[in-house]
Amino acid sequence: MERSGSHGSVRRSYDTVAEKYAISFREELANKPLDRALLACLIEQTEKSTPIADLGCGPGHVSAWLAGQGVAAVGIDLSSAMISIGRRDYPEVEFREGDLLELPAKDGEFGAVVALYSIIHLEPSELRRAFQEIHRVLQPSGLVFVAFHIGSEVRHLAEWWGHEVDVDFRFFEPHNIVEAMEDAGFLVEVRLERTSYPEEIETRRAYLLARRQT
């Protein structure tokens, strides 16, 4: 996600709600057993000496969970306010401010990548470029774990926790994401879907676990 153009409004929106977002989502994984299980599966298949990137990390709660499992976690997010909170609250994690379409990372730097609901602010035409960037920063045979809302709608928020924002949340059909990932050089090994948990917004969720092939 870029710092200018249509993504500028996404960055500004998350900067605006960063503190309230951090409070609301701090214990998110405690109520998501499937997410924890899939993250553990990712960790188990990743070389222990290689870092795992959490893309669209927000305030860093998932990155911190990874670090708690003994992982060298690197959180990357578009929002400078989110990154500041992450650095304040989770000093055990390395945080970088950056763009999904131009990741602040070296070629082959990461053993695995996590992207939980971070592609939902991308235009469909940007998906392939985003997965090409993920492919670039992954080591050969590295895994990427992606989660997103299923559908074709776009939900727009103009107000969030009492603050004025301007952000779209895009839903995707799983086959479209699979196609974009395969075009970028990934093979999808696991595909799961679930309904929302009681404390979540009511949507159907998709999980894809894919491996870099080329």
129: left (phi over 0), alpha (psi -120 to 50) or beta: alpha
Q: Across the strands, what pairs with 213?
A: none
Protein fold of 6-212: Rossmann fold (3.40.50)
pLDDT band at 5 (very low <50, low <70, confident <90, very high): very low
d(CA 89, CA 144): 25
* Per-residue model confidence as pLDDT tens digits over 99-142: 999 999 999 999 999 999 999 999 999 999 999 999 999 999 99
Is a pLDDT exceeding 90 seen at residue 87? yes
Domain boundaries defined on the chain: 6-212
Q: Of 176, 86, 85, whose CA–CA distance to 122 is shortest?
A: 176
More confidently predicted of 90 and 49? 90
Angle 186-53-166 from CA coordinates, rounded to 5°: 95
Contact 53, 105 (CB under 8 A): yes
Q: Is the pLDDT of residue 71 over 70?
A: yes
171/71 Cα distance (integer angstroms): 30
The alpha carbon dihedral of 154, 158, 160, 166 has a sign of positive
Spell out the long-range contacts of 8-11 with Cβ–Cβ below 8 A and sequence spacing 24 or more. 9/166, 9/167, 10/78, 10/121, 10/167, 10/168, 11/78, 11/79, 11/80
- Confidence label for 6 from pLDDT (cuts 50, 70 and 90): low
